[in-house]
Amino acid sequence: MRMKPVASAVLGIGALLVSTGISGVAMAKPKHAIAMQGEPALPSDFDHLPFVNPNAPQGGTMRYGVFGTFDNLNPVIVRGALTTARGIWFDKEFGNLVFEPLMQRSADEPFTMYGLVAETIETDDERSFVEFQLNPDAKFSDGKPIRPEDVLFTVEMLREHGRPLYGNWLRPAVKIEKVGEHGVRFTFDDTADRETPLLISGLPVLPEHAFDRDTFERTTLEPVIGSGPYVIADVKPGQQITYKKNPDYWGKDLPIKQGIDNYDTIVIDYYRDSNAQFEAFKKGNTYIYLEGDPNHWRTAYDFPAVDNGKVIKETFETGAPSNMLGFVFNTRREVFFDKTVRKALSMLFDFEWANRNLYYDAYARTGSFFQNSELSALGRPADDSEKALLAPYPDAVDSDVMDGSYAPTVTDGSGSDRRVLQQAVKLFQEAGYQFQGRQLVGPNGDPLSFEIMVQSPEQEKMALAYKRTLDRLGIMVEVRLVDDSQYQARKNAFDYDMIIAAYSASLSPGAEQTYRWGSVSKDLGGTFNYAGVADPAVDALIKEIVSARSREDFVAAVRAYDRVLISGYYVLPLFHLPEQRLARWHFIKHPDETALYGYQLPAFWREE
């Protein structure tokens, strides 16, 4: 990128840059880490994360394979957001190879940030501000020190040109100040919550001297400069990106970095289809294959390298909630206004038939938005804390969801369980539907009909399995497979009846829930509120989640929230894999301990 020194500037409305310290303000004690609730699990003198091998061998080359292409090396801008080269920044699989955050999240705790570029963090009991003291040794890969001015520049660029995610994180920051030689302080307005300091601590730090303000928002294929353990060594646009370890990496001796980033070279190859990606793995051109297809896991690993032990198939248990995959009802459409109709339709996906006939019985049924974790309401009666939170909304939770007896419908696996069909018909009749000939007709005289929009043959297969049962009740369903550009455009505009969507889950849900289920996002195009939810109970519980101070209060708020979402029948839950699955060549090793959030590829190493 063209080098252009720039002067510091005012950072948006109400933001202020000053170069002196703050007086007249009671200062909290700086700490090495911050947790969403309670205290960090690791003390200030910890020497490594618990899920790494601090003595992992160093060196060698790792080759990853991914599906797709890339045309951009600036990972924070809106343009090229979906086609940025993997690994540069905010990569949940490969790590932050080039850009680094102020603080690093631990994969072994629900939501705790430990010092990295920022040596310490300071906030008050109300979390009305956050102050970071940068590590005096922190440097970019070109040797220039990381300064508070770089943080201020980063905030300015993220606000003006960054992805909406960053704008949401930064919105409460009304004042940003340089404090002393190495400090930066963010002061928040009353829209901030307890998560805001942690989100701010997860921001990247960009070098002011290495970017041009006038061209920042443009995609680029020129190697960018960061502070991370690797530098970009070679770029083959759309095909391959190569990272080389920086021998002068400033943070290599930090406790948070022990047993992490163990390769000298990381090569990421891009493939235009998944078959080519897997064939490359079979041939040893890539070394790890992350498997999400149970059919593929069962049938595709019959090549010699598996038989002779050179390729190893493994499963990993995780303490994180299972992601929610489901058919999403767009409640903006009249056909899905009535919750009773949505509930009846939710009974009619024959999971038992589909799991046996399509997926080799590999999946488990999903019934909660936080399943397989302490945050899930599934199978748990509401406690007194939850009941108190839900008391203002007496109609928000169904009785079986409240007492813990709710479970997704179980069929006999025949694909036409008469008992289930009869129960669904009874609900349709309660909603005013009647049979006219072979069609189910609503109170307005229109047949019950809708379109399921899908974007892949795999989604089409799921939708056709669902349609198979709906046909038996005279429900008219069209499954429409559209190309990716049309799918994205229609999804962003909420122009669909039903889609299949996946919602990621964590042990620390927070502000992101507003843009999935909050009223403010119902008509905000491009958000993740695919179902069009606008429910006061949902809004109130999101506020409780982000303001909870103790883990106990947080768990109660999330469980109550889970009950409201389940009872709304906004999503027809499908299924999830009960564990993580991965195949690797035998010379790629990993620690014995698995983190709370599952395996962590940056902690793997190569053993010659």
CA dist 345 to 354, 470, 498, 518, Å?
Answer: 16, 8, 12, 23
Q: Is the pLDDT of residue 135 over 90?
A: yes
State mean pLDDT over 233-259: 97
Region class of 2: left (phi > 0), else alpha (psi between -120 and 50), else beta: beta
| CATH C-level class of 326-517+571-576 | alpha beta
pLDDT of residue 18: 37
pLDDT of residue 16: 38
pLDDT in tens, 118-134: 999 999 999 999 999 99
pLDDT of residue 83: 83
Q: Is the pLDDT of residue 389 over 50?
A: yes
CA dist 290 to 241, 461, 582, Å?
Answer: 19, 22, 5
Pick 273 or 498 by higher pLDDT: 498
State mean pLDDT over 274-283: 95
Query: Nearest 5°: CA angle at 76, between 71 and 82?
Result: 45
Q: Is the pLDDT of residue 360 over 90?
A: no
Q: Half-sphere exposure (CA, 13 Å, Cβ side) for 251?
A: 34
* Domain ranges (residues) in the chain: 326-517+571-576
pLDDT of residue 10: 37
Region class of 14: left (phi > 0), else alpha (psi between -120 and 50), else beta: left
- Bridge partners (DSSP) of residue 187 are 129, 175
pLDDT of residue 14: 38
Q: Is the pLDDT of residue 26 over 60?
A: no
Pick 65 or 23 by higher pLDDT: 65
pLDDT of residue 226: 98
Q: Half-sphere exposure (CA, 13 Å, Cβ side) for 206?
A: 24
Binned at pLDDT 50, 70 and 90, residue 273 comes out as: confident
pLDDT of residue 526: 81
Residue 585 structure tokens: 């060549």
Q: Is the pLDDT of residue 7 over 70?
A: no
Q: Is the pLDDT of residue 509 over 80?
A: yes
- As a whole number, the mean pLDDT across the chain is 93
Q: Is the pLDDT of residue 468 over 50?
A: yes
Least-confidence region, from 66-75, 152-161, 587-596: 66-75
The greatest distance separating any two alpha carbons of the chain, rounded to the nearest whole angstrom, comes to 80
State mean pLDDT over 503-513: 93
CA dist 322 to 108, 382, 557, Å?
Answer: 16, 21, 18
Binned at pLDDT 50, 70 and 90, residue 168 comes out as: confident
| Secondary element (H or E) of residue 459 | helix 457-471
State the Cα–Cα distance between residues 216 and 233, nearest whole angstrom.
21
State mean pLDDT over 199-210: 97
State mean pLDDT over 490-505: 95
Binned at pLDDT 50, 70 and 90, residue 4 comes out as: very low
State mean pLDDT over 184-199: 95
Per-residue three-class SS string for 275-318: HHHHHHHHCCCCCEEEECCHHHHHHCCCCHHHHCCCEEEEEECC
pTM, full prediction: 0.85
| Secondary element (H or E) of residue 605 | strand 605-606
Q: What is 371-394 written as a DSSP string?
A: TTSTT--TT----HHHHHHHTT-T
Binned at pLDDT 50, 70 and 90, residue 154 comes out as: very high
pLDDT of residue 370: 97
Q: Is the pLDDT of residue 518 over 70?
A: yes
State mean pLDDT over 375-394: 98
